[in-house]
Amino acid sequence: MFKLENVTLVGATSRDVEATCQSMERCLALCEFGDVVLFSHALTRMPTVIIDKFESVHDWSRFALRDMPRHPFKTDFVLLVQWDSWILNPDAWTDGFFAYDYIGSHNKGWKGGGNGGFSLRSSRLFSALRSGIVPEDRIELEDELICHWFHQQFVDAGVKFADRAASLRFAGQDGSSRMDRQAFGFHGILPTSFLIC
């Protein structure tokens, strides 16, 4: 089986707990990770870290910006997945992804990095987040804050964001023309042509 020994598979949810477990199981069927963690308000069949229940998307963003970077992960990288994202094609993996501190599916409107719903994040990114680059009063979506609004501040702190080519190889997004069967994973709604019954 394909192994990513320096990567922790991570989920975090209060709403789509069962679907997130299924997403993580799809990843685990294709890849062996160094560790597995699901942050949730209730115990699950995944190794679970209990957190306060998310009452809004802003609670999720605050968790991703403030709390998750403080968790003592055992690996240098985490692969963050959500209920609507998982690995599609392990053969598309390249260790070149480890050259980046943040890589998600390409978002052409942002300065770099990509969508956070299926994203690889490094300990260097978490260190930069712990330093307080993003002010406490900012409540936009966490991936937009990291990859667009405070992109330059993270770059100045030594964080390296994936370029467009790497993001497109890493993951597709929302079943659009960016969804490539050859990508490592995806985030969003899969086209019916990708579904295997």
Domain borders along the chain are 2-194
Burial of 102 from C-beta contacts in 10 A (0-12 / 13-18 / 19+): buried
pTM of the model: 0.93
Amino acid 180: pLDDT: 56
Which fold is adopted by the domain 2-194?
Answer: Spore Coat Polysaccharide Biosynthesis Protein SpsA; Chain A (3.90.550)
pLDDT value at 45 more than 80: yes
pLDDT value at 76 more than 80: yes
pLDDT value at 140 more than 90: no
Across the range 112-121, mean pLDDT stands at 92
Tell me the pLDDT tens digit for each residue of 84-102: 999 999 999 999 999 999 9
Amino acid 196: pLDDT: 37
Report the C-alpha gap between 114 and 107 in whole angstroms.
5
The winner for highest mean pLDDT among 53-57, 68-72, 133-137, 180-184 is 68-72
pLDDT value at 109 more than 70: yes
Report the C-alpha gap between 47 and 66 in whole angstroms.
21
118, 82 Cβ separation under 8 angstroms: yes
Residue 82: count of CB within 10 angstroms of its CB: 21
pLDDT value at 106 more than 90: no
Provide the token pair at 180: 């490539």
pLDDT value at 176 more than 70: no
